[in-house]
Amino acid sequence: KALKGLEDTLPKAIKRVAFDQTVEIALRLGVDPRQADQIVRGSIVLPHGIGKSQRVLVFAQGENVKVAQTAGADFVGAKELADKIKDGWLDFDVAIATPDMMGVVGPLGRILGPRGLMPSPRAGTVTQDIATAVREYKAGKVEFRVDNGSNLHCVVGKMSFDVVKLQENIESLLSYIRSLKPSASKGVYLRGVVVSATMLPSIVVAV
């Protein structure tokens, strides 16, 4: 069975938790992220979401402003939002932009990039289909990217989720990440999986 470490350990851990914590998964991958053709990144809508309403910002103009607002975006604008970000405002979880707004968004790379907030075509956050992107992120879509140490971190839910929902979220994520294995990656691809929460010991998962 794919997630042997969770069935017994997680229910016992949940009973000891006094507040609802975020559950995160950490993967060790058999890739060399120094090579451009071995960078693993993407985004996914998990079956049961992540138990958190994400604050979505959209860079848009013209008719796309109304489209973004109707889809549920929390903040919509153009240069005025960029100026607020330059002044230190970062009260959002996801930034999405239409392609024609990259002239405004591009200079924000040094601020948004290190925080994982920079819109990107590969992550689906630079798109003409603003409505779909906003709805997916409001529903709990998560992004991930392998770091320089070949590790990948991703939120998979809350401790208030029952164990079946957490398992299904994790299995969905692992299946997707397996599908992203770079052709240049040799040997064992998925080398380690650990599930953790802020105030709990990590759980090593057999895969």
pLDDT averaged over the chain?
88
* Alpha carbon distance 132, 138 (integer Å): 10
Please return the burial class of 197, using the count of CB atoms within 10 Å of its CB with bins 0-12, 13-18 and 19+. buried
Q: Supply the pLDDT for residue 90.
A: 97
Q: Is pLDDT of 1 > 50? A: no
- Any idea what the CATH number is for the domain that residue 150 is in? 3.30.190.20
Q: Quick one: 156 and 185 in the same domain? A: yes
Q: Supply the pLDDT for residue 2.
A: 47
Summarize pLDDT for 144-181 with one digit per residue, the tens: 989 999 999 999 999 889 889 999 999 999 999 999 99
Question: Hey, which of 17-31, 113-127, 190-204 has the most confident mean pLDDT?
Answer: 113-127
Q: Is 148 a domain residue?
A: yes
Q: Is pLDDT of 4 > 50? A: yes
Higher pLDDT, 122 or 96: 96
Q: Is 177 a domain residue?
A: yes
- Tell whether the torsion through CA atoms of 79, 84, 87 and 88 is positive or negative: negative
* Alpha carbon distance 67, 38 (integer Å): 36
Q: Is 1 a domain residue?
A: no
Q: Give the domain extent around 114.
A: 56-138
Q: Is pLDDT of 194 > 80? A: yes
Higher pLDDT, 15 or 46: 46
- Domain-ending residue, one of 108, 138, 168: 138
Summarize pLDDT for 51-94 with one digit per residue, the tens: 988 899 999 999 999 999 999 999 999 999 999 999 999 999 99
Report the predicted TM-score, pTM, of the whole model to 2 decimal places: 0.74
- Domain-ending residue, one of 138, 171, 189: 138
* Alpha carbon distance 130, 136 (integer Å): 10
Nearest to 68 by CA among 100, 99, 108, 96: 96
Start-to-end CA distance of the chain, whole Å, equals 8
Q: Quick one: 83 and 125 in the same domain? A: yes
Q: Is pLDDT of 44 > 50? A: yes
Structural domains in the chain (count): 2
